[in-house]
Structure 1
Amino acid sequence: MRIYLLIAAIAGGVTWLVTPLIRHVAIEIGAVGEVRARDVHTIPTPRMGGLAMLIGFTVATVFASKTMFLSGLFTGNYQMWVILAGGIMISLLGMADDLWDLDWMLKLAGQLLISVFVAWGGLQIISLPFGGSLITASPSLSMAITAFLIVASINAVNFVDGLDGLASGIVAIGGIAFAIYSYIIARYSPSYASLATLIDVMMVGICVGFILHNWHPAKLFMGDSGSMLLGYLITCASIVMTGRLDPASIHPSIYLPVFMPILLPILVLFLPVLDMCLAIVRRLAKGQSPMHPDRMHLHHRMLRIGHSVRGAVTILWGWAALIAFGSLMILFFRARYVLIGMAVAVVVLTVATMYPYLKHRIPEMQAESRAMEATREGAQHAAMPSGKTGSSKDSGKLAIEAEPDQQQGRSIDRNADRDAGQSVESGK
């Protein structure tokens, strides 16, 4: 484990050191992102930070190949060098997009060609889950599935890269979960050395090293050269870890989680994949291109309901950690306990996510309730004078009707007094 931590520190340290230099180069060559309608930042900021991440990953790879514990992964096996070559090509494609803003179809074609090259070089999903066991896929099917997963992950991370530190943080969280997962699996193999774990720790290192410069307010953006590299690396690590598993060599206690070679990248990249799927459906429903930019991504919605940039990033990190580590906890705890813990975490994160909206919405609802109450009372007061007028009219009518009776009564009283007076005089 200590050698992996050392490799991660080297990757992160080199990335952190060269990022200011890359920022200067980006400014000199004009790789500065102009403020667009969909952007959150308000001032032009240099891009092309992915080049610093690529340099950190390359230096860490070369160092790892010289260590005694990990050198066996490079001896007689060119898979890591193929992955590094693919990473260099995908970063160069991203740099071209950072500089010249390539057409989305051209960029997608380049991603597909690089993915096919990497699959042809040996990075393939060989085993597929079917009928309660793992079966071997044909070479053409393996290449197609591998290329599809790489392209999908590249664009998923690219879609979610909209706030300072968001994409690199989500990938780092997924990389940590993957590193722990692959390290546990490697303990049941003859050698503890694991290529998947090596890729994961180097990826986490370059993410952490870059976040130190990319935290809001960012001094440099990773650009497509960085987001595409991260999506590529995390998928390569997952394919290396799960693509060539032998069920006979896996301990029964971890066989079930291992039995998901295709779902693992989706679980770790759940938020980016969800955001990408929603964006594609939303744009196609409007008759737009799937790559048409807008301000309806998940991070845009978080800002719209009242979160700050740092608050939105932190909460989205929390959701990513819940999904990534929730599946990992099944290895150590019973499923029902994991589900209970995840349910509690979901409630907490939901409250944190909706808090700014509720904070403003609840007073608005109270004000609306008071306004409705005031309107109701006003209507009641408006109805009271008309009721009093009717009562006066009725009273007047009764008084008029009562006057003949009263006059008749007074006549009767006067007659009675006259008769009484006559009686008195007669008595005298």
Structure 2
Amino acid sequence: MRDYLLTLCVTAAVTYLLTGPVRKFAIAVGAMTAIRARDVHREVTPRLGGIAMFFGLCAGLLVADNLQNLNGVFDLSNEPRALLSGAALIWLVGVLDDKFELDALLKLGAQMIAAGVMVMQGLTILWIPVPGVGTVSLTSWQGTLLTVALVVITINAVNFVDGLDGLAAGMVCIAAAAFFLYAYRIWYGYGIEAAAPATLFAAILMGMCLGFLPHNMAPARIFMGDSGSMMLGLVLASGAISVTGQVDPDTLNLFEGGTREGTHAALPVFIPLVLPLTIIAIPFADLVLAIGRRTWNGQSPFAADRGHLHHRMLEIGHSKTRAVLIMYFWSALIAFGVLLYSVHSASMWILVLVVGLSAVGLVLLLLPRFNPHVPRWAESVVPPRYRRRRRR
């Protein structure tokens, strides 16, 4: 665990320290986010934050390669090199887009190429668990098609949700934290070495987000741009592909004799195998709704609008900060709820806890003007908006 924490801290430190100089560079080259009708920010803000995040990724992989307990990942697997190749390609396209505003179809093609580059180097889905059937091995073209689809969907899901200060980085960080705990349990709990790359990817992804968030929280001093959001989506998808498509579920003793009855009886343990998909549930839902909405209105699926989930929350009265925190809450509830259920699937209290927290989340979501107040003895340590108004 210490080596993973060291890798995370180095990644976060490099990202944090480079973001300031990158901001000055973005201003110098004119990579600025203009104020558009669909935007919620009201000041011209530099982007290209993905540059600092990419070098944080490189630093994390370099440190891990030189740690005794982690360098085996590089010796026994080609997945870290595949990740770096795909990330470098999508990052370069993102940098060009942040500066020159590339066509949406060109970016989509680049995303597919980046996914194909990773597939060629071995980062691909080999099999998938199917409830009621068992482990289904995929042919080469099936694995390639599914891998490319997952990478493209995740990249665009993260890119679509990047609309408020700190929103995308925070949600991806939460997802990476839940994913790290799951992959770490598979690696050290079950002794399955195939989960080691996914564990490393999650730790580095957390570092990239944590290093960038102090610069990106409201009011943001810099945006990550497509160079950052697309890269975050690719790294998140890479971890999902690694652990879901490379770790054979049979090695986890999920199936009782390999029969259909045994698989059906063990259905709850399939949940952690789809955890990589559930951790992007909120961004994915936003992506699906956006595509459906734009297609229904006769627009291109890639046409920007103000119909995303965070835009709707602002319209019903939430502040930017509250909208971000509520999205954090729902992301954490889904990701960690599934994670807890995968560990204690027979415990009823987990279901009760998730239902109770969901009710709290709905109250916070539907009552945007509800402002909780703290006791008077604690008013000196909280922001003024949480203090009771004194009568004069």
Q: What residue number does 1:62 align with?
A: 62
2:91 aligned with 1:99: no
Deviations along 1:244-264, one digit per CA (max 9) or x if unpaired, are 222342144997566368743
2:97 aligned with 1:80: no
The Cα of 1:199 is off from its aligned counterpart by: 0.4
Distance in 2 separating the partners of 1:78 and 1:241:
14
Q: What residue number does 1:171 align with?
A: 172
Q: Is this contact kept in 2: 1:239–1:261, CA < 8 A?
A: no
Percent identity over the alignment? 42
Q: What residue number does 1:390 align with?
A: none
Q: Helix, strand or coil for the counterpart of 1:128? A: strand
Q: What residue number does 1:297 align with?
A: 308
Alpha-carbon spacing, 1:292–1:191, altered in 2? closer, same or farther (3 Å): closer
Q: What residue number does 1:209 align with?
A: 211
Distance in 2 separating the partners of 1:72 and 1:258:
28
Q: What residue number does 1:185 align with?
A: 186
Q: What residue number does 1:234 align with?
A: 236
Q: Helix, strand or coil for the counterpart of 2:75? A: coil
Distance in 2 separating the partners of 1:356 and 1:97:
35
Distance in 2 separating the partners of 1:260 and 1:94:
33
Which residue identity does 2:139 align to in structure 1? S
Q: Which aligned pairs between 1:311-322 and structure 2 lie closer than 5 A? A: 311-322=322-333
Distance in 1 separating the partners of 2:267 and 2:171:
25
Q: Which aligned pairs between 1:22-421 and structure 2 lie closer than 5 A? A: 22-130=22-130, 131-187=132-188, 188-189=190-191, 194-252=196-254, 259=270, 263-333=274-344, 334-356=346-368
Which residue identity does 2:80 align to in structure 1? M
Distance in 2 separating the partners of 1:307 and 1:138:
48
Which residue identity does 2:362 align to in structure 1? T
Which residue identity does 2:154 align to in structure 1? S
The Cα of 1:358 is off from its aligned counterpart by: 7.3
Alpha-carbon spacing, 1:53–1:157, altered in 2? closer, same or farther (3 Å): same
The Cα of 1:330 is off from its aligned counterpart by: 1.2
Distance in 1 separating the partners of 2:206 and 2:268:
22
Distance in 2 separating the partners of 1:351 and 1:271:
18
Alpha-carbon spacing, 1:10–1:274, altered in 2? closer, same or farther (3 Å): same
Distance in 2 separating the partners of 1:337 and 1:9:
34
Structure with higher Rg: it is 1
Which residue identity does 1:196 align to in structure 2? A
Q: Helix, strand or coil for the counterpart of 2:368? A: helix
Distance in 1 separating the partners of 2:152 and 2:273:
14
Unaligned runs of 5+ in 2: 256-262, 372-392
The Cα of 1:207 is off from its aligned counterpart by: 0.1
Q: Helix, strand or coil for the counterpart of 1:37? A: coil
293-302 or 124-133: which moved more? 124-133
Q: What residue number does 2:260 align with?
A: none
The Cα of 1:331 is off from its aligned counterpart by: 3.2
The Cα of 1:14 is off from its aligned counterpart by: 0.6
The Cα of 1:216 is off from its aligned counterpart by: 0.2
Q: Is this contact kept in 2: 1:189–1:249, CA < 8 A?
A: no
Which residue identity does 2:356 align to in structure 1? V
258-267 or 284-293: which moved more? 258-267
Q: Helix, strand or coil for the counterpart of 1:75? A: helix
Q: What residue number does 1:383 align with?
A: none
Which residue identity does 2:357 align to in structure 1? A
Q: Helix, strand or coil for the counterpart of 2:97? A: helix
2:28 aligned with 1:17: no
Distance in 1 separating the partners of 2:78 and 2:351:
41
Which residue identity does 1:278 align to in structure 2? L
Q: TM-score, normalised by structure 2?
A: 0.88
Distance in 1 separating the partners of 2:36 and 2:117:
34
Alpha-carbon spacing, 1:332–1:77, altered in 2? closer, same or farther (3 Å): closer
Q: Helix, strand or coil for the counterpart of 1:315? A: helix
Q: Is this contact kept in 2: 1:183–1:197, CA < 8 A?
A: yes
Q: Helix, strand or coil for the counterpart of 1:194? A: helix
Q: Is this contact kept in 1: 2:49–2:224, CA < 8 A?
A: yes
Alpha-carbon spacing, 1:286–1:248, altered in 2? closer, same or farther (3 Å): closer
Q: Helix, strand or coil for the counterpart of 2:219? A: coil
Which residue identity does 1:32 align to in structure 2? M
Unaligned runs of 5+ in 1: 360-428
Which residue identity does 1:96 align to in structure 2? L
347-356 or 126-135: which moved more? 126-135
Q: Aligned Cα RMSD in Å?
A: 1.9
Q: Is this contact kept in 2: 1:243–1:261, CA < 8 A?
A: no
Which residue identity does 1:183 align to in structure 2? Y
Q: Is this contact kept in 2: 1:242–1:258, CA < 8 A?
A: no
Distance in 2 separating the partners of 1:16 and 1:36:
28
